[in-house]
Amino acid sequence: MGVANAKKGFKPGQEAIAKKGWLLAHKWLILRRLSQFSILALFIFSPWIAEKTEVWLIKGNLASSLTLDVIPLTDPYVLIQSILAGSWPVFTGVLGALIVAVFYFLVGGRVYCSWVCPINIVTDVAAWLRTKLKIKGGAQIGRNTRFWVLGFTLLLALITGSIAWELINPVSMVFRGLTFGMGFAWGVILAVFLLDFIVSRRAWCGSLCPVGAFYSLLGSQSMMRINAYQREQCDDCMDCFLVCPEQQIIKNPLNGAAKGFHSMITSSQCTNCGRCIDVCTEDVFRFETRIPFKKIPMLNQPSDSEKLTQTQEVVS
């Protein structure tokens, strides 16, 4: 596999472009960027549109918003912090959080990451540059660090009685900056970029961000999943592995047939970005639905030692 990489000079997706054409080889990426930018644009231009037409498409920001003056949406993570800090939201706040929670519960929690979050664009660019410039190595930050961070942000809200995390949360800072005035939030974008570019690959979204961690928990039973349904066609080009923001989750569903792993990527860390579908020349992957809480059967029982190395939560 390493040989294949070396030959291609770290340009994942080249073969896919050659075989499927540029557009198809970027289908999901384009759709994702469209989604991210139109959500941003909607928030940015709504005040302006409202000035001309008196119709508010959407107001607020990702923390809490109101669509068409009717539908409330609230980020459940920030609302939970607020409740832990000792304050009870009004009805619209709770309703908004419920709507958001149900949505991500169904489509996949980290859909927030790859289809909504503005920071994702920054960290994607950093990862792309790293691959292009063949930068390897860097600090080792455990993938589970984000859950510690998540826990501590909740604890801080409880102890300090204020939403302390929001003082430094780059996700909301950047989105709020773009919609309400940037100020020095550019510096935060730069900091996240440098972290991912210099310190370690996918350091922020892959190891540290508690927002992503929260949404991954929320969507751990989601209906929408990537399935490596044609994994027997895989030619081990490793392109999917190179573009995936959570590399560790692909291995077992793709190559674990012999060990009994199901081909569906059930890890809650999958962001449903669909980039693996884009770059695969052999059409191994596709989006599929599953029934929440229904256990995905193993093909056969993995041995104890294999269980320990599993990074996903497939239960036999």
Partner 1 sequence: MDNKRRKFIGDSLKTAGAVGVGSLVLGLYSGQSRALASQAIRPPGALAEDDFLGACVRCGLCVRDCPWDTLKLAQLFDPVALGTPYFTARKTPCEMCEDIPCVVACPTGALDHSLTDINDSRMGLAVVIDQEGCIAFQGLRCEVCYNVCPVQGKAITIETQTNNRTGMHAKFIPVVHSSDCTGCGKCEQACIVDGESAIKVMPLKLAASGGSPHYRQGWKEKEKAGGKSLVAPDAEHKFNLPEGVEYDYAGEGLIIKDKTKKPEAVSVPQLEQKTKDSPFSENPLDTLNKKGGL
287: part of which helix (H) or strand (E)? strand 286-289
Q: Is 213 in the site for partner 1 (CB under 8 A)?
A: no
- Residue 61 Cβ, how far from partner 1 at the closest point, in Å? 6
* Nearest C-alpha neighbor of 16 from the set 240, 310, 255: 240
Residue corresponding to tokens 């962001």: 271
Partners of 72 in the β-ladder: 66
Q: Is 88 in the site for partner 1 (CB under 8 A)?
A: yes
In the stretch 108-127, what mask flags binding to ligand SF4 with x, by CB under 6 A?
Answer: ----xx---x-xx--x----
Beta pairing, strands 264-265 & 286-289: unpaired
The item of partner 1, ligand SF4, none sharing an interface with residue 157, based on CB under 5 to 8 Å by kind, is: partner 1
Joined together, the tokens standing for residue 304 give: 């104890």
Q: Is 297 in the site for partner 1 (CB under 8 A)?
A: no
Among 188, 211, 264, 265, indicate the residue that binds ligand SF4 (CB under 6 A). 211
- Residue 168 Cβ, how far from partner 1 at the closest point, in Å? 6
Binding piece for partner 1, criterion CB under 8 A, among 169-177, 194-202, 265-273, 291-299: 169-177
The whole-angstrom distance between residue 209's C-alpha and the CA centroid of its chain comes to 10
User: 66 exposed, middle or buried (CB, 10 Å; 0-12, 13-18, 19+)?
Assistant: middle
205 DSSP 8-state letter:
I
Q: Is 66 in the site for partner 1 (CB under 8 A)?
A: yes
* Nearest C-alpha neighbor of 125 from the set 64, 41, 28, 204: 204
Joined together, the tokens standing for residue 64 give: 């809490």
Q: Which residues bind partner 1 (CB under 8 A)?
A: 47, 56, 59-61, 63-66, 72, 74-75, 78-79, 82, 85-90, 92-93, 96, 142, 144-145, 148-149, 152-153, 155-157, 159-168, 172-173, 176-177, 179-185, 187-188, 305, 308
Judged by the rule CB under 6 A, the positions of this chain that interact with ligand SF4 are 64, 112-113, 117, 119-120, 123, 171, 204-205, 209, 211-212
